[in-house]
Amino acid sequence: MSLRLKLLLGFIIPSVMILVAGIWSSSQMRSLGRRVQAMLDENERSVQYTVKMNEALERLDSGVLLRLHGDGASYQAIYKVSTMDLLRALNDEQENITIPTEKEMVDTLATLIDAYLLALDSSGSAAPGNLDFYRVSMAPLFKRLKVVISDVRMLNSKAMYESSKLVASRAERAALPADLIIFAAVIFAMLFAWLTQLYVVAPTRLLLDAVKEWHLRGRFTPPRFESRDELNEMKEFLNMISLKSDEGQ
């Protein structure tokens, strides 16, 4: 193997190993990032839907109190918009279920919303100022709905936190093969440096010392080293010149 090829391999192999490690880590992190981003987007949408449901529910609760105090016009304005917002947010959440236990909670939420809307419709038959109707028929459903909505929101918030933990753990696993490749490249580079010292630098120094001795004493003593590259050719060539020089004298 030529000296040039040895040096080229010594530089190319670690470079290729580090390049492979970089491409591997980059592809793994991009893939992980896309998966986690999709999970976070889905959970974030569910959180936003629960916020909208909560806001619509609170407006309806205020509206029914206005109705029971005789302000039917304000109730009707609130009822029309808030009911649409509540049902739209519920439908969006039903189409965005991504957590196994979430479906059961959303089904419970849908059942409670149906019961709450039926109670709202029956509030029209209550006498003005009859707050007992609110305390008996509306308040328990309102409180139960608030709890379930909060549970759905907390479930998705927790899932977002778990996703962030997943990023950290999988990032470590994704980086492990790259770390091993880089470690192997460093070991190879150190081995190459040692071999370069043994088979390139040391023979070159021996040749240089032999040439110096030839120059000072007029006698060339071939250095002892094993090599099959240009350094060995140089040693043989210098030895041949030395022998011819001796014959000429």
Predicted confidence at residue 168, as pLDDT, reads 62
Taking the whole predicted model, whether its pTM rises above 0.75 is answered as no
Predicted confidence at residue 191, as pLDDT, reads 77
Predicted confidence at residue 4, as pLDDT, reads 59
User: Is the model's pLDDT at 113 over the cut of 70?
Assistant: yes
User: Is the model's pLDDT at 239 over the cut of 70?
Assistant: no
Predicted confidence at residue 128, as pLDDT, reads 76
121 burial via Cβ count (<10 Å: 0-12, 13-18, 19+): exposed
Predicted confidence at residue 148, as pLDDT, reads 94
Is residue 223 within 8 A of residue 205, CB to CB? The reply is: no
Predicted confidence at residue 195, as pLDDT, reads 72
Angle between helices 3-68 and 102-122 (to 10 degrees): 20
pLDDT tier at 7, thresholds 50, 70, 90 = low
Is residue 60 within 8 A of residue 141, CB to CB? The reply is: no
Is residue 187 within 8 A of residue 71, CB to CB? The reply is: no
Structure tokens at 190: 């150190």
159-196 pLDDT, tens digit per residue, is 887 777 766 666 666 666 667 777 777 777 777 777 77
33-90 pLDDT, tens digit per residue, is 677 677 778 888 889 999 999 999 999 999 988 888 888 888 888 988 999 999 999 9
User: Is the model's pLDDT at 200 over the cut of 90?
Assistant: no
Q: Could you tell me how far CA 185 lies from the centroid of its own chain?
A: 25
CA atoms within 13 A on the CB side of 33: 6
Is residue 215 within 8 A of residue 238, CB to CB? The reply is: no
Burial 189-210 (b: 16+ CB within 10 A, else e): beebeeeeeebbeebeebbeeb
211-220 pLDDT, tens digit per residue, is 777 767 766 6
Query: Can you tell me the distance from the alpha carbon of 143 to that of 151, in angstroms, rounded to the nearest whole number?
Result: 12
Structural domains of the chain, ranges and CATH numbers in brackets: 14-183 (1.20.120), 186-248 (no CATH)
Is residue 57 within 8 A of residue 145, CB to CB? The reply is: yes
